[in-house]
Structure formats: structure tokens, C-alpha cells
Amino acid sequence: MKLNFLNVLKQKSPSNDIAEQIVLLEKKLLDVEKEKGKLKESAKELRQRKLCNEQIIDSQIKEADTLVKDIDLTVEAITESIAKLKEKLIATVEDEKEAKRVNAGKKHRELCAERNMLDEELARYHARFLAFAETILGSLADVYMKDGRLFRCPGDAMHIFEFEYKKAKGAIKHPTHYEKKLEYEQD
């Protein structure tokens, strides 16, 4: 991780890159604040020594003052950069949330359209099944279908049911609508 906040500010960057730069700048600010404390103490010490009539020339004091002013500007620059990055982070997070919301809406519409198509296909299978059952049971097939008895498999045909079920299940393409729906709900 290196400081690269100017490029992050200028370019479109993901929120995690912006947050990383904020953390790096905050660490840098702590280091600079420590350095500032040392420089201030050094500048005060020079003044104290001059007050005690030690051999301190004015240029040494001016140089120490300049270093303190320089580090003050550095602190100011870091603080302003952090503020700008935080503003950009807020805007970027909002943009990312909006993009996810739009994507979720699109995926939801796709799932709804697929579900409608599958419901129609299921209705076709029900109709075929009912028509076939009527050839065996007559009008009683509709009554049996409504109360669920029509979907019970006679015991002597259970092995055929299991075989056909495994065969049909093996032919199903994945991900199924249900698997897609679960994935969508987890996002």
C-alpha cells in the first residue's frame, strides 16, 4: 500500500481504494504530528538558549521557524486531502449502492419473467396430466387433482415413478430457477 491519493481523487476509484488512501493519510498525519512536536520543541529550545545569552544566531532561529511553518503546511495539506477523500468516499459508496440497486432490480425482473414462463409451462403439464387422468378416471380426475389424490403414485408403479423422476431430474439444466432465486436473495 502506497500513498497515491492524488490519482484516487482525480480518477474514478472504487470505495475500498479511497478508504485505503484515507487510512494511509491518517497514519501519515500521526507521523507528521510527531515530527511537528519535535521541531517545535527544537525551535523553543533555540529561543530559550538565546534568552540565556548563548551563541545562537538569528538564522538558526529563522530556519527552525521555517521548518515548523513547513510542517504546519504539510499537516494542513494532509487534513484537507483526508476531507476531500472522505467526500469522494461518500459519493462513491452512494454510486456503488445505486449500481447494486439497479442491478438487483434488473435481476429481479429477469427472475420474475422466468418464473412467469415456468408457471405457464407448469400449467401446460397440469393440463396434460389432467387430460390423461380423465382418460382413466373420467370426471373424477378433476376432483382427485384438486384434493391431491391424483398425484399419489400407486404402489405397484412406484419403481416406474422413481426411475422417471431420476431421469427427469438428471435432464434439468442448472442453475434452476430456484437456485437463481436463492442466489439473488443472498446478494
Write the CB contacts of 61 (distance below 8 Å, at least 6 apart in sequence).
Answer: 43, 46, 47, 50
Is pLDDT above 80 for 187?
Answer: no
Confidence of residue 69 (pLDDT cuts 50, 70, 90): very high
Helices (H) and strands (E) counted in the chain, each on its own, are 6, 0
Tell me, what DSSP letter sits at residue 1? -
Q: Residue 164's pLDDT is what?
A: 87
The count of residues in the chain is 187
Tell me, what DSSP letter sits at residue 154? P
Confidence of residue 90 (pLDDT cuts 50, 70, 90): very high
155-186 pLDDT, tens digit per residue, is 788 888 889 889 988 998 999 899 988 888 88
14-26 pLDDT, tens digit per residue, is 999 999 999 999 9
What is the Cα–Cα distance from 18 to 14, expressed in whole angstroms?
7
Q: What is the mean pLDDT of the chain?
A: 91
Angle between helical axes of 58-137 and 140-147 (0-180°, round to 10): 150
115-148 pLDDT, tens digit per residue, is 999 999 999 998 999 899 889 889 888 898 889 8
